[in-house]
Amino acid sequence: MIGSKPPRLLRAILPVAIGLTVVAVLLVRTVRENGGWDAVQGSVTLPGWPAALAALLGLIMLRDLGYVLRLRWLSDGDLTWRHAIETTILWEFASAITPGIVGGGAVAIWGLHRQGLSAGRSTALVFSTALLDELLYVFAVPILLVILGSAAAPADFDTTVGWGVFWISWGLLLALASIIGFGLFLAPLTTHRIIQRLARVQWLARWASPISTFADDLKQSAAEMKALPLKMWAGAFAATAVSWSARFLSLVAVMAMVVVPLSELEPLTIVARQLIMWVYLLISPTPGSSGVAEWLLGAFFSPWFERSSSLIAPAVTMLIWRMATHFIYLLLGVLVIPGWLRRTRQD
């Protein structure tokens, strides 16, 4: 289980440093290749940028509101608004300082437990949100691929990253959703027995009591999650869809600020490409996918960048996009988590 020490400052600074370095290198290289800084003329923003900025800020708030509502509904109101907001910040902060494949789920479980929920209840709640995320993804991708066809991926996708890796990753996400659904909702008693048997393994004997307690809590929590009214689950799934839609539409708003006007963008295609790109962010080894995210952005959205009259539009897009979807949680985490740790200290 994760300790009670606050995340080290270095872990918060590292992804910011990586992301800003990539943006800076791209910016300097682009300017040098196009005649130097004196050749960069005019404003980088488009005439309609105030409306696009307002839309971006609204999407950021809508994204986090969806996460908070989901925690409130799935906890059946046991998490207060304040607890749900703080848990969301902690979760996103942890995701921003860990590799994509690790994520912030373990930290969220620890945070919920620290808020007063049992270990089993915390695990069931986080796994339930993960299940909603995976289900939304595995359903949304095929639908958008049917609608958009080859436009959903870059023209050279087959020769650079390949559909093979993508579909294997998509299949693993489907398998993960199936395992969570089976373990928590279809066969919680089987899951309980498996964990209880782990408690009897010799090298785990010293933790037999907490493991057994965890198994009992998880079984009870799974029963509580199954007993939630259908409207609660429908609301949580709708909140998940709203949050992820707002996250992906944020890039559309950023591009409408600095790349080309909204009328020249294809929002559905941009969202679809982010869904495909997301798989590669998940398997990124860098904290918060820093560096990898910036590189993929250029590879997946070059057709729109090439239409821009500004030489530095790609670099500025990357910077604003990462600020809105990544750096903001590092800042919020640094501001909120120390006080939260002091207030929830367990004596």
Distance from C-alpha of 122 to C-alpha of 109, rounded to nearest angstrom: 5
Q: What is the pLDDT of residues 261-316, one digit of tens each?
A: 888 899 999 999 999 988 888 877 766 666 777 788 888 898 898 888 777 788 78
Q: What is the pLDDT of residues 166-193, one digit of tens each?
A: 888 899 889 888 888 888 888 878 877 8
Q: Following DSSP, what letter does each residue of 230-266 receive, concatenated?
A: HHHHHHHHHHHHHHHHHHHHHHHHHHHHHTS-GGG--
Write out the E strands in the chain: none
Q: What's the gap between Cα 32 and its chain centre?
A: 34
Choice between 255 and 345, residue whose per-residue pLDDT is larger: 255
Give CA separation, 221 vs 123, 173, 218, in Å.
9, 23, 5
Residue 43: pLDDT band by 50, 70, 90 thresholds? very low
Specify the pLDDT at position 180: 81
Residue 219: pLDDT band by 50, 70, 90 thresholds? confident
Distance from C-alpha of 101 to C-alpha of 156, rounded to nearest angstrom: 25
Residue 241: pLDDT band by 50, 70, 90 thresholds? very high
In the chain, what are the domain boundaries?
A: 9-343
Distance from C-alpha of 23 to C-alpha of 295, rounded to nearest angstrom: 9
Specify the pLDDT at position 159: 61
Q: Which of 73, 76, 134, 79 is nearest to 108 (CA)?
A: 79
Q: What is the pLDDT of residues 123-132, one digit of tens each?
A: 888 888 988 9
Q: What is the pLDDT of residues 155-166, one digit of tens each?
A: 777 665 578 888
